[in-house]
Amino acid sequence: MVMTGSKAQVKKALQLEVDRLEDLKMQNMKKVIEAIPVELAQYWDQSFYSQEQRRTSAPYYAEDYTENLLQLHDAEIVRLRNYYDIHKELFEGVQKWEEN
């Protein structure tokens, strides 16, 4: 991007570009955050989480698409993934038992 013109024009053009990039960032963040609950639900199902346990996950139900929410979702996924990995053998055994 080549900037020519007065300082005010350059400043305005740069601010417009910053605004455009912030909008793009928010759109992408929203897409990522909207996809995370699907992954959370999969871990809940695999770990036999009750409805009560699911309701305690406040970030799952939040709709403010912020970096903070993204971090909360990421932390919850890591926690659930670790929980599942630790108890994987048990969960798989219960799954097989339920299928029979």
d(CA 44, CA 76): 11
Residues in the chain: 100
pLDDT at 3: 56
Work out the angle between the directed axes of helices 67-86 and 7-46 (0-180°, nearest 10).
Answer: 30
pTM to 2 decimals?
A: 0.69
Q: Where are the domains of the chain?
A: 7-99
Tens-digit pLDDT profile for the chain (100 aa)? 555 668 888 888 889 999 899 888 888 888 888 888 888 899 999 999 999 988 887 677 777 888 888 888 889 899 999 999 999 999 999 999 999 8
